[in-house]
Amino acid sequence: MFKTLIVILLSSVFVNNYVLSRFLGICPFLGVSKKLNQAVGMGVSVTAVMLLATAVTWPIQYLILDRLGLGYMQSIVFILVIAALVQMLETVIKKFSPALHAGLGVYLPLITTNCAVLGVAINNITDGYNFLESMVSSLGCGLGFLLAMVLFSGLRSRIDESEVPGPFKGLAVTLIAASFISLAFMGLAGIVDTIFK
Amino acid sequence: MSKNNNCMSVLTNGIIKENPVFILILGTCPTLATTNNVVGAFGMGIAALAVLFCSNILISLLRHIIPDSVRIPCYIVIIAGFVTIVQMLVQAFFPELYKMLGVYLALITVNCIILGRAEMFASKNSVIRSGLDGLGMGIGFTLALTAMATIREVFGSASFAGISIPFLENYKIEFLVKAPGGMLVYGLLIALVYALTHGKAPMKKSFSCATCPSAAYCNTAACKKEEEGDK
């Protein structure tokens, strides 16, 4: 049991990294990774929202949608629930902890339509995880996102200082750099299976 | 006559001048994820085209009814509804494609192209123009995805749409069909488009990023303003 959870956690951080191997959440990955503190803020917010979204959408799927035979309403219900959750979370944080809001709150509205969050919620259902496994997998995906953001922000500050040929300036060189990080993560592909089997 | 020209330009705008993938740089997630083979990329493009066309028309029809303050949630519900319909149709008639696209089909809901066009175009223009815009953008998206998938599949797995190309069999660059290859090819293509247009491509400028999830922090004009405000 414990072993399964560890495998899920490690493989969602390193092997099936949401950004680098499944291509979810590319927009914030390319957009908010310019500075380290922004990258960390975005990563932590995404992790929190992923956990919260899974904690809410998993019961909704199994206790409401499946029982009423409304499984096909998944996309509509999930996106609305996530959007409402994010708005509520922002209001609550603003009220109770203005300092935290100044640090993380600014990223929250941007997460509403982040495909990684909806992707995690849907994938947990498709993979047939139970509640605990779903929560661990969301945590892993969030941490994986954070890791990718932090690594990439370091790389980007190096790119900013180097001279890039004309047409490659801006997004093109950023994507190519992201490709190299993704290549590094490919090397970790077999690692989880090897350790635990 | 001039009205016809106008409609034509709305249609072709999305295909070349404001191609959503290479010029506006929208919908990057499906672009990277589904282009490792031509069939999946083409299917993804057509699915997005259908949703974009229908949602643009419906949102344009309802543009005077939807209250301004809750417009984004309304758009999301409309888009999610069409995505569900498309999902069910694909599952029923193209089960293999459904398996191939997996979660990315459901994620058309949060594709910034569709929400972006709803916000920037359909909510301000007539039904016909919005429909044409949706069609143009959808065709542009499909063509771009197919072009990128062709490069990746031909050089990566020596085949085109599943038909193998014998003389490339020994020169496969398998890395291209894997995740890093997607980013590399996309980066190179963006650079190519930029070089071919001598930097004259509008490069997002004609498009506000009001609806993009990371709008405030990305490279576009509106966001640069925000950054300067920070300093």
The answer to whether A53 touches A121, Cβ cutoff 8 Å, is yes
- Residue B142 is encoded by which pair of tokens? 């499909």
- How close, in Å, is residue A84 to chain B by CA atoms? 9
Which candidate from A23, A110, A115 shows the least CB-CB separation from B110?
A: A115
pLDDT of A89:
81
List, in sequence order, the alpha helices (H) in chain A. Answer: 2-10, 26-31, 36-59, 74-96, 98-103, 108-111, 115-126, 131-161, 171-186, 191-196
Mean pLDDT over A26-50 rounds to: 81
Assign residue A48 a region: left if phi > 0, alpha if psi is -120 to 50, beta otherwise? alpha
Domain count, chain B: 1
Mean pLDDT over A165-179 rounds to: 81
Residue closest to B108 by CA, chosen among B64, B164, B52: B52
Q: Do A172 and B194 touch (CB under 8 A)?
A: yes
Is residue B29 over pLDDT 90?
no
Is residue B50 over pLDDT 90?
yes
- Partnered with residue B163 across adjacent β-strands are B160
Residue closest to A72 by CA, chosen among B35, B90, B64: B90
- Whole-angstrom distance, CA of residue B100 vs CA of residue B61: 34
Highest mean pLDDT among A10-19, B203-212, B220-229: A10-19
Residue closest to B217 by CA, chosen among A37, A126, A33, A116: A33
- How close, in Å, is residue A65 to chain B by CA atoms? 15
Mean pLDDT over A183-189 rounds to: 81
Q: Is A165 helix (H, G, I), strand (E, B) or coil?
A: coil
pLDDT of A105:
66
User: In this complex, how many residue pairs, one in chain A and one in chain B, have their CB atoms less than 8 Å apart?
Assistant: 152
Mean pLDDT over A126-151 rounds to: 89
Residue closest to B52 by CA, chosen among B76, B14, B79: B79
ipTM of the complex: 0.81
Is the pLDDT higher at B149 or at B3?
A: B149
Which candidate from A31, A76, A186 shows the least CB-CB separation from B81?
A: A76
Residues A57/A58/A64/A67 CA torsion (nearest 10 deg): 150
To the nearest whole number, what is the mean pLDDT of chain A? 83
pLDDT of B198:
66
**Domain range annotation of chain A:** 12-29+37-147
Is B175's Cβ below 8 Å from some Cβ in A? yes
Q: Is A33 helix (H, G, I), strand (E, B) or coil?
A: coil
For A41, phi then psi, to 5°, come to -60, -45
Is B214's Cβ below 8 Å from some Cβ in A? yes
Is residue B124 over pLDDT 70?
yes
Is B222's Cβ below 8 Å from some Cβ in A? no
- Partnered with residue B164 across adjacent β-strands are B159
Mean pLDDT over B111-135 rounds to: 84
Q: Please state, for a pLDDT cut of 90, what percent of chain B lies above it.
A: 14
- H/E segment holding residue B164: strand B163-164
Which candidate from A171, A178, A185 shows the least CB-CB separation from B219?
A: A171
Q: Is A49 helix (H, G, I), strand (E, B) or coil?
A: helix
Q: Please state, for a pLDDT cut of 90, what percent of chain A lies above it.
A: 5
Alpha-carbon A193 to chain mean position: 23
Q: Which chain A residue's Cα is nearest to B175? A: A183
Is B215's Cβ below 8 Å from some Cβ in A? yes
Which candidate from B88, B213, B217 shows the least CB-CB separation from A112?
A: B213
Number of Cβ within 10 Å of residue B118's Cβ equals 27
Residue closest to B131 by CA, chosen among B81, B63, B56: B56
Which candidate from B111, B179, B194 shows the least CB-CB separation from A20?
A: B179
pLDDT of B47:
92
Q: Which chain B residue's Cα is nearest to A28? A: B214
Is residue B54 over pLDDT 90?
yes
Residue closest to A59 by CA, chosen among A46, A86, A76, A78: A78
Q: Do A74 and B106 touch (CB under 8 A)?
A: yes
- How close, in Å, is residue A83 to chain B by CA atoms? 8
pLDDT band at residue B209, thresholds of 50, 70 and 90?
very low
Domain that holds residue B171: 2-230
pTM recorded for the entire structure: 0.82
Q: Do B184 and A176 touch (CB under 8 A)?
A: yes
pLDDT band at residue B55, thresholds of 50, 70 and 90?
very high
Q: Which chain A residue's Cα is nearest to B188? A: A172
Mean pLDDT over A180-193 rounds to: 80
Is residue B183 over pLDDT 80?
yes
Assign residue B220 a region: left if phi > 0, alpha if psi is -120 to 50, beta otherwise? beta
* Residue from B32, B183, B193 whose CB has the most chain A CBs within 10 Å, to mutate: B183
Mean pLDDT over A86-111 rounds to: 77
Tell me the C-alpha to C-alpha distance, in Å, between residue A175 and each of A53, A101, A155, B190: 29, 31, 12, 9
Is B126's Cβ below 8 Å from some Cβ in A? no
The answer to whether B48 touches B111, Cβ cutoff 8 Å, is yes
Mean pLDDT over B148-153 rounds to: 89
Q: Which chain A residue's Cα is nearest to B112? A: A113
pLDDT of A197:
65
Is the pLDDT higher at A128 or at B202?
A: A128
Highest mean pLDDT among A31-35, A83-87, A189-193: A83-87
Mean pLDDT over B199-226 rounds to: 43
Q: Which chain B residue's Cα is nearest to A111? A: B213
Mean pLDDT over A45-49 rounds to: 86
Mean pLDDT over B217-230 rounds to: 40
Q: Which chain B residue's Cα is nearest to A29? A: B214
For B159, phi then psi, to 5°, come to -150, 165
